[in-house]
Amino acid sequence: MIKKNDIITLEITDISSDGNGVGKYEGMAVFVPMSAVGDICKVKILKVLSSYSFGKIEEIITPSIDRIESFCPNFSKCGGCDFLHISYDAEKRAKTIFVKNCFERIGKIDVPVNDTLSCDKVHRYRNKAQFPVRKSENNKAITGFFAQRSHRIIPCSNCLLQPELLNEISDFIVTRMNELGIKAYDEEKFTGLIRHIYLRYGEKTNQLMVCLVSTKKKVWNIETLVKDLVKKYPMIKTVVLNINDKNTNIILGEENIILYGDSHIQDILCDVSITLSPHSFYQVNRDGAEKLYTIAKDALKLNKDDILLDLYCGAGTIGLSMANCVKTLVGVEIIPQAIENAKENAKTNNINNARFICSDAGQAAEKLINEGFTPTAIVLDPARKGCDEVALNAVIKMSPSRIAMISCNPSTAARDCKYLAENGYKVEFIQPFDMFPRTKHVETVVLLSKGEIDSKKVRVEFSLEDMDMSGFQNDATYGQIKERVLQQSGLKVSSLYIAQVKQKHGIIERENYNKPKSENARQPKCPLEKKWRLRKH
């Protein structure tokens, strides 16, 4: 029986979604950080639970062929990276397996998972940096990154995930803070001023935002710091003092004070100009985001007749990148500042077919249903917790022909896709994408389409009295109507059904077109959900 402090010989045969290698010893799974599939190691057991245990490498007896020498001196100390000890090809293979396992085990979905794709940058890809600032033992300000599962700062002047410029600016700010006597935050005593340095960089525009997070509005010598900063780094367009006086792990407070510039910067994503404020959501890997959004856009096969709903839209970046392909775009986001950014982004880019709603995704979707809004395609880009059931039920009720889900959590993506699959949708393909190389995180694009529906199992609510039948007054042929309904809803309708609906609403058909051959003959009646679709064409 395995016990704490035992030293065992273990072969690593798998890797978990949190980046730990996994081996089996006497039938028990042992999770070992910084190990690679194929390693044979001596492992010290640190913790034993009922069905699994945790250990650490004491000695590598035989290294894996995937193992490489880490080029970061802080790897294993800092909590930023997970896979600097294995090749990038091995990392992508692992992420494909993460996604595959989730969709098989959680989603019960038997669809091949494509190999993980990535952008060209494996390092220096982040356009946002958040450096904690704390008081050191000698009362000096220091910055770096938190060690794993702690608030102990590991000094790091050259993080390889971030552009050298961001690392350099962070070091300059801390150096000047110490020279000017600006106090760093003391988390234990809840004293001091500057608690975070928060940087955003527009790669296409070469514009940079500096946001200093402070416990108070008045900071001694802050004007001198800002003056020195913008003189040395002329690409800085704005400097913001963000006030966070709460004893919390949340980085940003609600109030911003503009110290320099006009509070925001611009960047360009998928040919759309994006306005970024401190609170704006923006993918930290710009090049990766362009590829990710293009995958979703191509999967949806959008056209100028499509009505696109972008749930969890953030600052509107996904929907706006697709707006020129569709008739109408509606975006929904619960964060007010993000919605204001989305509206401003639409205005800046002269996008006039977009509307943005500030609301919870599920509530907004229900409201849109009540308005008679019927999207033909939906993009879902939820947070890590995934979609709530209200939102999913609303999506099902709106019955779009195509759904593209972009998820940063394959577990919740698999769960939500399973729910959609149980309610009439088919998963067409699953594409993992590595937005965050050298970390355990992976994005996934899933395309779902509306399958053929058994009309006896579908409940559709509508009023015949409220129907607008003006659309029938055109000269659309029966073949055109059939094709249109199939394209937008996945429903097949017959000429008889079209004739029945037209006759019901006073659109005259030629004599005897839809009459039975005899008085006693019975004809199939057009199902309700097909009537609902036909009246729109």
Q: Nearest 5°: phi and psi at 303?
A: -140, 175
- Give the phi and the psi of residue 308 in degrees, each rounded to 5: -105, 130
DSSP at 429: E
Burial class (CB in 10 A: 0-12, 13-18, 19+), 203: middle
CA distance 191 to 328: 51
- CA dist., res. 160 & res. 158, Å (int): 6
Contact 402, 380 (CB under 8 A): no
Pairing of strands 255-260, 236-243: antiparallel
CA–CA separation, 37 and 464 (whole Å) = 63
Other residues' Cβ atoms within 10 Å of the Cβ of residue 308: 28
Count the alpha carbons within 13 Å of 321 in the hemisphere toward its beta carbon. Answer: 22
Q: Which of 41, 78, 102, 408 is catalytic?
A: 408
Under DSSP, the state recorded for 384 is T
Q: Where are the alpha helices (DSSP H) in 449-494?
A: 478-489
d(CA 375, CA 377): 5
Catalytic, 408? Answer yes
Angle between helices 410-421 and 389-398 (to 10 degrees): 40
CB neighbour list of residue 177: distance below 8 Å, 6 or more residues apart: 133, 141, 184, 194, 225
- Of 432, 421, 427, 387, the C-alpha closest to 404 is 427
- The span from the CA of 322 to the CA of 319, in Å, is 5
Strands (E) across 232-376 are located at 236-243, 255-260, 265-269, 272-276, 307-311, 328-333, 354-358
- Count the helix, strand and coil residues of the chain and give each as a percent rounded to the nearest 5: 30, 30, 45
The residues annotated with a catalytic role in the active site are 408
